[in-house]
Amino acid sequence: MSYKEKLAIARKTLWLSVCIVASLVSLSGRAVAAEPVIEEIVVTAQKREQAITDVPMSVQAITGEELRENGIDSLPDLVKFVPGASVVSSTAPGFETIILRGIASGTTGDATVGYYIDDVAFGVTNLQIAPPNNMYDLERVEVLRGPQGTLYGQGSMGGSVKLITPKPDTEEFSSRFRIGGRDVDDGDTGYNFDGVVNVPVSDNFAFRVSGGLEKAPGWVDSPEINKDDINEFDSWNIRLKALYSTDMMDVTFSHWTIENELDSANTFSRTDPTTGIEFSEPTMAGIGGNPGFIDTTLDTTSLTFDVDLDGMSFISATSYTEYELDFVFPLFTAGFQFFNDSTFETEALTQEFRLLSTNDSAVQWLIGAYYSDAEIHSDIDFFLDFGGGFTLPVINTVGDIETEAWAVFGEISVELLDGLVTPTLGLRYFEDDRKTANGFDRAAGLERPSVGTTYETVNPRFAVNFRPHDNGSIFVSAAKGFRSGTTQTEAQAALAASVGVDTGTTIAPDEVWTYELGARYQFADGRLAIEAAYYYSDWEEIQLQFNVPGTVALANGGDAEVSGFDLAVSWMPVANLVLQMSGNINDSEFKDVNPNLAASTVTVREGGSLPNVPEKNFSLGASYEWQFSDALEGFANATYAYRDRQVDAGSGLESGVMNVADLRLGVRAENWSVTLFGENIGDEEEPVVRTNTGVQFVTPRTIGLQLEFEI
């Protein structure tokens, strides 16, 4: 299909979307009032509290109650219900790569999605990793789709994910606990315990402590070492949040520690790599007698001052984050046994200042400054194991990547014609001094030369929000996203050159412009909510991952265009019954490609689709509540999630589709609830990720029971 044909289809899709929204608007006055209604959520997508209808961008907000009701405990769980989102790799908890709206470039290089825990930015230099997390005690999660380069900075090219934790309550003591157990088909059993306690100390001071521990059951066997259920993992976390509040100022301190320990490499096979014999179920094989392990640890601490200046607020957010990824990963390929024994340690100090208007003026503004000082220490030992203690190094290096970045930014919006039209203009100047340091190639016995580069960019955002009716809005926007360049080892560059790609050790930055038209409306007196958006992205100098002998390398692979359509619907046809649907159709295409890269890979070709990008995903949900008695209530929740096939960036291997259905049934009283749940009740067995290192699967059918109570 030619570019002109695709552009014509895009225009027709856009026109159809506008017509649908216009038709719904014309019907909005004919509904019959009913209670209750689907409540509109207040979000902080533009770094100020706003009703979601007033935000001129695609935002999905999921409350903490919705997370618990749907059994969403992790980012991969959440991604199933986000239009245009996909998991590129879920190697282990805390070692996951997620994309939004087709902005995908593998698992190495800086992430294309920005992550925030309250005001704390999380990112691992040169690795596309989502933060370890536990979603039990969250106020809400906000998913901002599309570039967020103005307010959220570099790396938020596909969008941003914000995990927002509850503030301590200075008025009332409260506590809530959850204990559960689960059993996996043909696997082991597991358990979890979570809790949260809120303690008001005085009228001005309170603290909130939450945390928990989990043993997730294993379900994969390894006949090679005669061990069953090898992939169980243990996790624990604890979070302290303290608030000191006066009429003029709020001071918030937060610390969160999360540790995950996985007893294997968690990438499996359906075929014995040495004999070619087909296994009847996912199996760990080709491990040279060592199943490996993956451990991740996150410690993040923040201190925030929010000062009321009578019509303005001044916010200072300081954070310090430490993240460690430590693993041994076995790989049998091309008839040889490899091992990757590596550790990545990240430290990051960030400081952000914001001054923003808080009055009722038609003009609202925000200005700010940002600084970060981060370092990743990498210790990589990737070697060929011949047995008997004889090994041959492929990559055996140690070194640091240091980044010192700063930015100034601002945004202003003006309500015109009594709020009918609100244009918004934002701008950010960003500069990143990035260099390698302390590098040593142990295989060659040589120091690695230090390389330094400064990246700078100006990231604008233009948006207009239209409020022709009280029950909805229409918005248009244009925004730029940016990602700093990155580095790779001399060994990776040499291996890339051996397959004809002369990429060097320094990879240039990439950037994307996204144009969007969307609408949000509520109808039937608040019982029907619809959000729709069409987007088009122009992505240049893409940092692409590709396979080289024994490992992967990076190169600027070319330019691409991505277009798509998001739709989300919530409907309450009768009281206590809520039906939900969300989905995305995405089309991507390389416009120009690096010819040497195209010649050496199967995934990069002019006119071809971007790797790791499914063409569509959607989810369906239904929840219903009913009264057993005045004191007892029943509830049921059913969800279904579908994700199309996706192609691995390095190998070109294609995954299966994802079809996952979950069911939750329970009963609750005033201060307790019991839930019986089934996850993947259809026992979906197709691999959802397939690479040259193995395949990843959805956990088989899982049945469990959970008790939650308040004291």
DSSP 131: P
> What per-residue confidence (pLDDT) applies to 280?
81
How much is the average pLDDT of 54-75?
Answer: 92
Burial bucket for residue 30 (CB in 10 Å: 0-12, 13-18, 19+): exposed
> What per-residue confidence (pLDDT) applies to 403?
95
pLDDT bracket for residue 10 (50, 70, 90): very low
Alpha carbons 450 and 463: distance in angstroms, whole number: 42
How much is the average pLDDT of 651-670?
Answer: 94
pLDDT bracket for residue 9 (50, 70, 90): very low
* Residue range of the domain that includes 224: 3-710
Alpha carbons 461 and 57: distance in angstroms, whole number: 11
Determine contact, residues 143/115, Cβ cutoff 8 Å.
no
Residue 657 has pLDDT above 60, yes or no: yes
Determine contact, residues 178/706, Cβ cutoff 8 Å.
yes
> What per-residue confidence (pLDDT) applies to 290?
92
Lowest mean pLDDT among 12-26, 39-53, 451-465, 580-594: 12-26
The tally of domains found in the chain comes to 1
DSSP for 423-485, written as a single string: EEEEEEEEEEEEEEEEEEETTTTEEPPP-EEEEEEEEEEEEEEEEEETTEEEEEEEEEEEE--
Task: Write the CB contacts of 578 (distance below 8 Å, at least 6 apart in sequence).
Answer: 38, 570, 571, 572, 621, 622, 623, 624
pLDDT bracket for residue 397 (50, 70, 90): very high
pLDDT bracket for residue 105 (50, 70, 90): confident
How much is the average pLDDT of 433-447?
Answer: 91
Question: Residue 570: which CATH number?
Answer: 2.40.170.20
Please give the sequence-ordered ranges of beta strands (E in DSSP) within 127-248, or none if there are none.
Answer: 140-145, 159-164, 174-184, 189-200, 205-216, 233-245
Q: Among 280-294, 539-553, 580-594, 680-694, name the most confident range.
A: 580-594
Residue 24 has pLDDT above 60, yes or no: no
| Mean pLDDT of all residues belonging to the chain | 91
- The two three-digit tokens of residue 344, written as one number: 């990545």
Q: Quote the percentage of the chain above a pLDDT of 70.
A: 95
